């Protein structure tokens, strides 16, 4: 039998293949790692996989939610273990192959040098990858998993256990009447809100930046400072102040500003459509300074030669704007602009703080201006519908990811590995 096969077979127990290849130190290291992996993680893996499969069998001993978390950690640890196992097998096989071909085996020193020379970027990013897995991937997996359980008020620890129910919760969203109708009306407004509010803030930001960047304009610094101010005040403060200003009977907007021009009081907070308008205007106000700043930066980097050449060719100001300024801005800021859309899709603060998702509309479990996130928030808090909230979150992420992916691809924003 070939040495590579023997080494590979022996390596089922980490280290033995290396011993067979007479690489004693390496073998010991692999064996040591292998044993300590099971010593350290044995309990976790045992409890974790059992918990993940059953979500507990006995109250009050078992807490389904903790078992679920433990199970997910066990999976992550197992993946690490398998990666290590793969390295072990591969090493044994490779060196066995070298023996078969009568080539010198790679020593530990060589391996180390190889690792430093070729794997340096991986070595450096390793720790942050590790943290990323527990800080980002684990919570995502957790809420993902919750969507497939029946975790709600009646299946909560410590008195009760939760169970896996597959796609039942998703099915419920589309079969239970009050949820289905609410889901689609909320989704509709969420999409409109995202498109209109984000487009407004982006357009306003670019427009202002181009305006302030005009050569002949004086006091540029003054204008820039003033225009950035909305960004300098914490968002929630602005929103709460606006909520006061927009008050139907006592707000300054109705009583002072609109009354001055002779317009009757507008039901900003009690009429659905007016609230929507107020929200969109506010988001324009809150969001444009960022785009304004980014665009200003881009504008300053457009070489004057381009405009000069255009002028010589007799291009009008609008032609210059359309063919030089706009493309330059869009190329440079496309990723930023896309993030504005994804941000607004989940812009909980403004919806919740301004009017609590209200005003109420008859026959709906969500308020007239609730977007998906704020509706999910209400559902979870008020009715302890954790699994439903998790399922909705997944649907919501699917939308955001799909839109973002599509836009990124269309604009080639991340071309050239940037």
Q: Which residues bind other proteins (CB under 8 A)?
A: 4-5, 8-9, 11-12, 38, 45-47, 49-50, 53-54, 58-61, 63, 66, 78, 82, 85-86, 89-90, 93, 152-154, 156-160, 172, 176-179, 243-244, 247-251, 267, 269-271, 355-356, 358-365, 367, 378, 382-385
CB-nearer residue toward other proteins: 7 or 208? 7
Q: How far is the CB of 88 from other proteins (least distance, A)?
A: 9
Nearer to other proteins, 163 or 248 (CB): 248
At its nearest, how many Å lie between other proteins and the CB of residue 21?
Answer: 15
CB of 94 to other proteins, least distance (A): 8
Of 253 and 286, CB closest to other proteins = 253
**Cα gap 387→393, rounded to integer Å:** 10
Nearest residue (CB) to other proteins, 55 versus 298 = 55
**Tokens 């992550």 appear where?**
76
DSSP 125-144: HHHHHHHHIIIIIHHHHHHH
User: Where in 37-158 does DSSP place strands (E)?
Assistant: none
Q: How far is the CB of 364 from other proteins (least distance, A)?
A: 7
Is 186:370 a contact under the CB 8 Å cutoff?
yes
Question: For residues 310 and 317, what is the distance between their CA atoms, to the nearest angstrom?
Answer: 9
Among residues 88 and 340, whose Cβ is nearest to other proteins? 88
For tokens 């201006």, name the residue: 369
* Smaller CB separation from other proteins, 88 or 201: 88
Q: Which residues pair with 149 in a beta bridge?
A: 164
Tell me the closest approach of the beta carbon of residue 376 to other proteins, in angstroms: 14
CB 365 within 8 A of CB 373: no
Vertex 284: Cα angle to 298 and 398 (nearest 5): 85
**Residue 135: what are its φ and ψ, rounded to 5°?**
-90, -25
Residue 152 C-beta: closest distance to other proteins, Å: 7
Q: How far is CA 69 from CA 37, 53, 165, 327, in A?
A: 20, 12, 17, 48
Between 127 and 363, name the residue whose CB sits nearer to other proteins: 363
Please confirm whether the linkage preceding 359 is cis (ω < 30° from 0): yes
The span from the CA of 263 to the CA of 325, in Å, is 39
Nearer to other proteins, 90 or 410 (CB): 90
389 phi, psi to nearest 5 deg:
-60, -40
CB of 214 to other proteins, least distance (A): 41
Q: DSSP code of 248?
A: T
| For other proteins, the closer CB: 158 or 297 | 158
Shortest CB 332 distance to other proteins, Å: 40
Gap between the Cα atoms of 344 and 253, Å rounded: 25
Q: How far apart are CA 378 and CA 354, in angstroms?
A: 15
Other CB atoms within a 10 A radius of the CB of residue 136 amount to 10
Query: Whole-number minimum distance, CB 107 to other proteins, in Å?
Result: 21
- The CB density around residue 417, as the number of other CB atoms within 10 Å, is 4
Least distance in Å: CB of 269 to other proteins?
Answer: 5
Angle (nearest 5°) at CA 199 between 195 and 202? 145
Which residue, 20 or 341, is less far from other proteins as judged by CB?
Answer: 20
């Amino acid at each position: 039998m070939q040495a590579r096969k023997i080494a590979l077979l022996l390596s089922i127990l980490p280290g033995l293949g290396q011993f067979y290849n007479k690489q004693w130190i390496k073998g010991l290291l692999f064996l040591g790692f292998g044993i300590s992996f099971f010593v350290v993680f044995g309990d976790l893996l045992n409890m974790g996989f059992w918990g993940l499969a059953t979500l507990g069998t006995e109250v009050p001993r078992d807490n389904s939610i903790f078992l679920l978390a433990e199970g997910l950690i066990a999976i992550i640890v197992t993946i690490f273990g398998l990666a290590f196992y793969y390295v072990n097998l591969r090493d044994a096989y490779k060196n066995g192959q070298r023996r078969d071909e009568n080539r010198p085996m790679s020593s530990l020193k060589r391996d180390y040098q190889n690792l430093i020379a070729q794997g340096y970027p991986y070595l450096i990013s390793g720790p942050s990858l590790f943290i990323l897995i527990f800080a980002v991937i684990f919570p995502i997996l957790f809420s993902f998993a919750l969507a497939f359980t029946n975790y709600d008020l009646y299946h909560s620890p410590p008195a009760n256990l939760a169970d896996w129910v597959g796609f039942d919760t998703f099915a419920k969203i589309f079969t239970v009447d009050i949820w289905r109708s609410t889901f689609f009306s909320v989704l509709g407004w969420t999409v409109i809100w995202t498109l209109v509010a984000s487009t407004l803030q982006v357009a306003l930001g670019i427009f202002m930046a181009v305006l302030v960047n005009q050569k002949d304009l004086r006091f540029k610094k003054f204008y820039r400072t003033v225009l950035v101010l909305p960004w300098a005040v914490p968002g929630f403060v602005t929103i709460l102040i606006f909520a006061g200003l927009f008050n139907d009977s006592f707000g300054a907007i109705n009583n002072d500003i609109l009354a001055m021009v002779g317009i009757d009081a507008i039901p900003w907070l009690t009429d659905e459509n007016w609230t929507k308008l107020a929200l969109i205007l506010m988001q324009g106000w809150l969001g444009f300074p960022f785009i304004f700043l980014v665009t200003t930066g881009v504008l300053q980097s457009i070489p004057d030669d381009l405009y000069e050449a255009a002028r010589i060719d007799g291009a009008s100001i609008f032609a210059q704007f359309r063919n030089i300024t706009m493309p330059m801005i869009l190329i440079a800021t496309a990723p930023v602009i896309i993030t504005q859309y994804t941000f607004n899709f989940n812009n909980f603060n403004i919806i919740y703080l301004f009017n609590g998702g209200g005003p109420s509309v008859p026959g709906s479990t969500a308020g007239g201006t609730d977007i998906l996130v704020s509706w999910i928030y209400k559902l979870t808090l008020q009715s302890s519908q954790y699994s439903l909230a998790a399922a909705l979150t997944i649907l919501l992420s699917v939308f955001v990811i799909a839109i973002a992916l599509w836009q990124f691809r269309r604009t080639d924003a991340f071309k050239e590995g940037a």
